[in-house]
């Protein structure tokens, strides 16, 4: 068996054994190494020349001592240089191995540090968003604490009592008193609408002004960043600077457009908030969710007043009656329901027997006597509220109905479906008189007329505005980076608001306006 030097990987001429590591070395190499550093080159333990053990091997005949000018002298010099290279190479290999181990350790530490930093950044972002949301609420709560303490406690107790009712509410039926109330309100609204229809509202945004609208503000911190996406939008008719949004984070947010502050955050739903309505006369918000519940909120205290349980499946449509006392809801359980906003009682609940796959949306006519619902079969159904009868059907769409909107003039109905088209219907003649065909794969999520009935807003793949009667496209806004889910006009259409899955609430108006 041949001996191999652990330094040079060659057969040694004078092999020695290290008692520290048990390795074989060429004596001249290990001696030179120990003169530089008195440690074993293999395991790093202390080692001196006297500890080396000579290994007895068959002696080899050595040549005579070379002279300084002979070829053997040159070979000896080269041998010494080669020995030095071997020692240096061995040292470099050791240092390389040590550097690799240290680098690996540092990389593991760096990776762990990056993970910690990412987690801390996420927590800081969430804390900042929570602080931005709570800061305006804290001021409101502190200012009104003593005045509203008793009412908030009562509202909270009422909410707890409502939450304990896990079963569906039983319908009480349409009473003569309710029917008379609906009829009286419809008569008043019909007369007012005829008077308004004789002239254009003073201060209404003109067509040219609408064409000059630009995105004036964007807000992305209203809802949680962990569950991004705004799904519903409404504007207070009483105070157009107040905007209400619903999101994927199971919350609704009341936002002041002018002060750019959150007024209230409404928490209580167990699933995403899909529909929101701001009461036109009171500080009340109405929200509907995929958790199959409708909640009524007192905005100043951010407290839930009532929980309406009229459906078993997610709510797909929500509309407030012109009296301000009743709310219409639809669901994909094929039922529509009318509930009392203030008592929380279910008045009536009717199944659409012809809709096998459920209802998709619901909207009151401006007079409140009739309302429309959309179906997944692509049919819009008009119902008489007093008699709970289906009085008319509007077929024509080839996809599920996504949104419907009645014009304030009481004559027009706009409908949108998955077939990338908007149809306009004349309620007097019960027929479709105009179809707006959009681009292929265009998605429509929301339709709305302004209060004058002069403009039709569309939210979906983009945000766009049409001029009523002529149905000309006036403006297209491509500011959102994802599907727009809601659109609303401000008072006299002096501004436009839109919500989107991209987390943003955007406002559009003339940038030259003060």
Q: What is the pLDDT of residues 468-511, one digit of tens each?
A: 989 999 999 999 999 999 999 999 999 999 999 999 999 999 98
Q: Is 18 within 8 Å of 47 (Cβ atoms)?
A: yes
> 15 - beta bridge partners?
26
Please give the pLDDT value at position 201.
83
Range of the domain at 174: 148-189+204-490+498-509
How many structural domains is the chain composed of?
1
Distance of CA 414 to the CA centre of its chain: 29
Cα 9 from chain centroid (whole Å): 65
Identify the CA nearest to 404 among candidates 336, 472, 503, 348.
Answer: 336
Residue-wise DSSP of 79-142: HHHHHHHHHHHHHHHHHHHHHHHHHHHHHHHHHHHHHHHHHHHHHHHHHHHHHHHHHHHHHHHH
On whether residue 71 sits in a domain, the answer given is no
In a domain, 83, yes or no: no
Domain annotation covers residue 77? no
pLDDT of residue 164: 37
pLDDT averaged per 10 residues in sequence order, the chain, 514 residues = 79 89 90 88 88 80 55 83 84 87 90 90 83 56 45 44 49 88 92 78 92 94 88 95 96 95 94 96 96 95 94 95 96 94 93 88 95 95 94 94 94 95 95 94 95 95 95 96 96 96 94 60
CATH number of the domain that 213 lies in? 2.130.10.10
Q: Would 102 be classed as within a structural domain?
A: no
* pTM: predicted TM-score of the whole model, two decimal places: 0.68
* 3 state DSSP class of 456: strand
Would 336 be classed as within a structural domain?
yes
- Euclidean distance between CA atoms 159 and 304, whole angstroms: 6
Residue 405 forms part of a structural domain: yes
Residues 6+ apart with CB under 8 A from 61: none
Specify the pLDDT at position 73.
80
Has residue 120 been placed in a domain?
no
d(CA 83, CA 90): 11
Instruction: Confirm whether 79 is domain-assigned.
Output: no
**Positive or negative: CA dihedral 418, 419, 421, 424:** negative
Closest CA to 355 of 333, 334, 370: 334
From the DSSP assignment, how many helices (H) and strands (E) are in the chain?
Answer: 5, 31
pLDDT at 512: 66
Q: What local confidence, expressed as pLDDT, does residue 217 receive?
A: 94
- Residue 76: phi and psi, rounded to 5, are -65, -40
Give residues with Cβ within 8 angstroms of 431, minimum separation 6. Answer: 425
């Amino acid at each position: 068996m041949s001996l191999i030097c652990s330094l040079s990987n060659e057969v040694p001429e004078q092999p020695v054994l290290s008692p520290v590591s048990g390795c074989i070395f060429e004596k001249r190499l290990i001696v030179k190494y120990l003169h530089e550093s008195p440690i074993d080159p293999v395991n790093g333990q202390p080692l001196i020349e006297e500890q080396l053990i000579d290994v007895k091997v068959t002696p080899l005949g050595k040549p005579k001592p070379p002279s300084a000018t002979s070829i053997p002298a040159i070979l000896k010099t080269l041998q010494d240089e080669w020995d030095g290279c071997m020692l240096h190479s061995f040292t470099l290999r050791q240092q390389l191995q040590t550097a690799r181990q240290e680098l690996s350790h540092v990389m593991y530490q760096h990776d762990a540090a990056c993970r910690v930093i990412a987690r801390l950044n996420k927590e800081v972002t969430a804390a900042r968003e929570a602080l931005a949301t709570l800061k305006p609420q804290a001021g409101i709560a502190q200012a009104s604490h003593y005045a509203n303490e008793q009412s908030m406690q009562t509202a909270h107790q009422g909410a707890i009592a409502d939450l304990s009712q896990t079963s569906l509410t039983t319908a009480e039926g349409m009473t003569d008193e309710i029917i008379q109330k609906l009829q009286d309100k419809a008569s008043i609204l019909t007369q007012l609408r005829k008077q308004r229809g004789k002239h254009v509202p003073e201060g209404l945004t003109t067509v040219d002004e609408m064409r000059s609208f630009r995105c004036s503000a964007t807000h992305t911190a209203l809802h949680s960043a962990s569950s991004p996406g705004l799904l519903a939008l409404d504007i207070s008719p009483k105070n157009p600077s107040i905007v209400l949004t619903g999101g994927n984070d199971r919350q609704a947010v009341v936002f002041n457009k002018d002060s750019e502050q959150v007024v209230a955050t409404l928490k209580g739903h167990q699933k995403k908030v899909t529909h929101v309505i701001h009461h036109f006369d009171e500080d009340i918000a109405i929200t509907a969710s995929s958790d199959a519940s409708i909640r009524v909120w007192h905005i100043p205290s951010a407290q839930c007043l009532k929980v309406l349980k009229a459906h078993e499946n997610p709510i797909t449509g929500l509309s407030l009656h012109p009296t301000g006392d009743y709310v219409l809801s639809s669901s994909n359980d094929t039922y529509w329901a009318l509930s009392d906003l203030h008592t929380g009682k279910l008045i009536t609940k009717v199944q659409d027997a012809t809709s096998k796959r459920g209802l998709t949306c619901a909207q009151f006519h401006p007079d409140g006597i009739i309302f429309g619902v959309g179906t997944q079969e692509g049919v819009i159904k008009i119902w008489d509220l007093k008699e709970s009868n289906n009085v008319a059907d509007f077929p024509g769409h080839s996809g599920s109905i996504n949104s419907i909107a009645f014009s304030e003039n009481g004559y027009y109905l706009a409908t949108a479906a998955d077939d990338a088209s908007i149809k306009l219907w004349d309620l007097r003649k019960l027929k479709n008189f105009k179809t707006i065909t959009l681009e292929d794969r265009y998605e429509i999520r929301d339709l709305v007329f302004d209060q004058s009935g002069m403009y039709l807003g569309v939210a979906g793949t983009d945000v766009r505005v049409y001029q009523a009667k002529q149905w000309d496209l006036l403006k297209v806004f491509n500011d959102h980076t994802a599907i727009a889910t809601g659109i609303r006009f401000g008072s006299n259409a002096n501004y436009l608001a839109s919500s989107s899955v991209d987390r943003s609430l955007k406002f559009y108006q003339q940038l030259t306006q003060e």
